[in-house]
Each structure stands twice: as C-alpha cells, then as structure tokens.
Amino acid sequence: MNTRMLLARALLAPVLFSAAWVYYPYCNDGPIFCLWKRFLNFECPGCGLTRAACLLSHGHYAEALAMNWRIIPVAAIATAISVKATQTLFRQRRHRASSLAEKKQEGEMAWHR
C-alpha cells in the first residue's frame, strides 16, 4: 500500500474526532441530511451518528450511546484503522532506514556530502 493511502488512514480517527469536537455546538441545530428521516419520517440505522460522535468527543458517553449505540463500533473501527496504518508507516520507515544503513555498510550506495 502506498504511503499516501497509509497516511490518510492514519489520520482517519484523529480528523473525525477533531471534526466532531468542533461541530459539537451545532450538532443539535443543524439540518437533517438523512433522506429516510426527511421524506419518510423514519430513522435509518445511521441516524444520530453525527450527534453521537459529537457527544462522544466531549465525553458524554451515556448520551452518545442513547443517541445511537452504533457509534461504539464505528469509533472502534476508525481507531483500529488509524492505529494499524500508523504502525505500518513506522515499520516501513524503520525498514527503509535499516536497509539504507545495510547498503551503506556493504558499499552498495554512494553517499555524497
């Protein structure tokens, strides 16, 4: 996997968490984006996830669960993706640095000043 994709995945949870934290003052007053709720007056399984994420980012865990319990698996999956991508990025960097050092030691690479 290329480095840009790994970086995007590594930033997934921090960016989503930060966006939810910033959007918190507006989460109850914003427009309704769900087409099911707007046209059929029926809540879909994703209804309330944005509000739940905002509540979760501010530490209101009980309210977040009451808003939509699916925020827990969504947050866990986003965090797992970010952690795994970050680990992979660090492993690649460490591997790249060690392979360069080995090549230098073996004389395969010319180092210019």
pLDDT, tens only, 62-102: 999 999 999 999 999 999 999 999 999 999 877 766 665 66
User: Rounded mean pLDDT of 8-34?
Assistant: 89
Residue 32 CB neighbour total at 10 angstroms: 9
Does any domain span residue 42?
A: yes
Positive or negative torsion for Cα 91, 93, 94, 100 = positive
Domain count, the chain: 1
Between the alpha carbon of residue 13 and those of residues 37, 42, 45, 67, 110, the distances in Å are 27, 29, 21, 20, 41
Does any domain span residue 65?
A: yes
Specify the pLDDT at position 93. 79
What range does the domain containing 65 cover?
A: 8-106
Euclidean distance between CA atoms 65 and 76, whole angstroms: 14
pTM of the model: 0.72
Does any domain span residue 64?
A: yes
Does any domain span residue 99?
A: yes
Does any domain span residue 3?
A: no
Does any domain span residue 113?
A: no
Does any domain span residue 112?
A: no
Does any domain span residue 89?
A: yes
